[in-house]
């Protein structure tokens, strides 16, 4: 009796596996097809496309897909606030994916985006072109105002040259803005992705982090 039941169980498993193999995969959605295509794009190749009912510009397809999935699929920055007009700061905004996502959560949010990389900033302007109450600042956040030297990458990874372990093969002069000056009012969300500058900036802001 036990042997018969074991055989039946094994047959059921075999049939289930066979059905899984023979069942054709579901066709990819239009958005998923776009993401797959972007994943295979050459690095640092600018492109424009439709995704999620919105026109986008990317400067690097693979890195765009990674950040987009984090925000719009995994929703790693999803949170609830009682305030319907919150204040957000996006430091190292890249091409604006986080800002567009936050605006989808809080349409009346006031957001200031900082991005020093010229190529990324061009895409940031395009991707945020129709968003109200969004200020775009072409500058790096730092512990002082002024000028500094920046090593652009054209995607993620651009950084201040003075923080690099070795001189960058290419660098440009950019504007630096002291983040501390933006923390004199309540900030509901402070996103920082500034490639190694975080600790220096946060130490300069220490007495105002209570506003975040």
Confidence of residue 167 (pLDDT cuts 50, 70, 90): low
Q: Which residues pair with 202 in a beta bridge?
A: none
Q: How far apart are CA 10 and CA 157, in angstroms?
A: 52
Confidence of residue 173 (pLDDT cuts 50, 70, 90): confident
Between 158 and 25, residue with greater pLDDT: 25
Q: What is the DSSP letter of 73?
A: I
- For the chain, helix, strand, coil in percent to 5 are 40, 20, 40
Q: What is the pLDDT of residue 187?
A: 98
Res. 82: pLDDT tops 50: yes
Does residue 87 sit in helix, strand or coil?
A: strand
- Single pTM value for the model: 0.82
47-57 pLDDT per residue, tens: 999 999 999 99
Range of lowest pLDDT (9-23, 59-73, 176-190): 9-23
37-50 pLDDT per residue, tens: 999 999 889 999 99
Could you list the beta-strand ranges (E) of 62-165: 87-91, 110-114, 134-137, 140-142, 146-151, 159-160
> Scanning the structure block, which residue is given the tokens 């990819």?
28
Q: What is the pLDDT of residue 196?
A: 77
Q: How far is CA 16 from CA 5, 6, 22, 27, in A?
A: 17, 15, 10, 21
Element (H, E) at 67: helix 61-68
């Amino acid at each position: 009796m036990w042997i018969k039941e074991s055989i039946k169980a094994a047959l059921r498993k075999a049939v289930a596996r066979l059905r899984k193999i023979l069942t054709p995969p579901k066709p990819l959605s239009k958005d998923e097809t776009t993401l797959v295509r972007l994943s295979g794009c050459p690095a640092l190749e600018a492109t424009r496309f439709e995704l999620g009912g919105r026109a986008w510009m990317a400067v690097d397809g693979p890195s765009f897909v990674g950040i987009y999935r984090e925000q719009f699929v995994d929703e790693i920055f999803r949170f609830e606030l009682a305030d319907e007009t919150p204040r957000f700061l996006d430091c190292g905004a890249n091409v604006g994916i986080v800002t567009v996502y936050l605006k989808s959560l809080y349409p009346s949010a006031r957001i200031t985006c900082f991005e020093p990389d010229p190529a990324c900033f061009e895409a940031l302007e395009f991707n945020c072109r129709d968003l109200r109450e969004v200020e775009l600042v072409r500058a790096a956040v730092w512990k002082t105002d002024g000028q500094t030297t920046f090593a652009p990458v054209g995607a993620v990874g651009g950084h201040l040259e003075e923080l690099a372990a070795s001189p960058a093969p290419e660098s440009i002069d950019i504007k630096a803005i002291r983040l501390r000056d933006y923390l004199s009012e309540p900030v509901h969300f402070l996103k920082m992705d500034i490639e190694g500058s975080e600790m220096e900036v946060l130490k300069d802001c220490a007495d105002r982090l209570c506003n975040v």
